[in-house]
Amino acid sequence: MTRVPSTGRIEIRDLRALGLHGVLPHERERAQPFSVDLDVHVDMSAAAASDALADTVDYGALVQQVAQVVSGTSFSLLEALAAAICRRVLDDPRVARVEVVVRKMRPPVDVDVGSIGVRVVDVRRT
């Protein structure tokens, strides 16, 4: 019998981390909160069959890597931050596609908003 891939996604919602991202000087002087959502598309057939963590993308390690990108780097634009997160997630060869939403929780605007963000989608290129 031929194995049929079981494509699925790992969903991470509202990962919170502090970072120095923004165009304005005061945004780069004091860390501010960011929220990240991830949809990580992977072949889940091996993990479903084995029930072994080694056969899937470890979401615990993944959240640590993403938090490190938010906290350990600095970008002017949310688009650049989201693209850097995509690249980090796609470092794992098991990831076929990733969708990243990055939200600035305290955007420097004169209107009361909950957050402002961007959504970036990237795929593995063969």
Return the CATH number at 79.
3.30.1130.10
DSSP 25-90: GGGGTS-EEEEEEEEEEEE-HHHHHH--GGGS--HHHHHHHHHHHHHH---SSHHHHHHHHHHHHH
Catalytic (active site) residue 70: no
Number of domains in the chain: 1
Length of the chain: 126
Catalytic residue among 21, 41, 103, 104: 104
**Does a structural domain hold residue 111?**
yes
Boundaries of domain holding 37: 7-123
**Does a structural domain hold residue 1?**
no
Tell me the pLDDT band of 2, cut-offs 50, 70 and 90: low
**Does a structural domain hold residue 62?**
yes
Q: Summarize pLDDT for 29-43 with one digit per residue, the tens.
A: 999 999 999 999 999
Residue carrying structure tokens 């990733």: 98
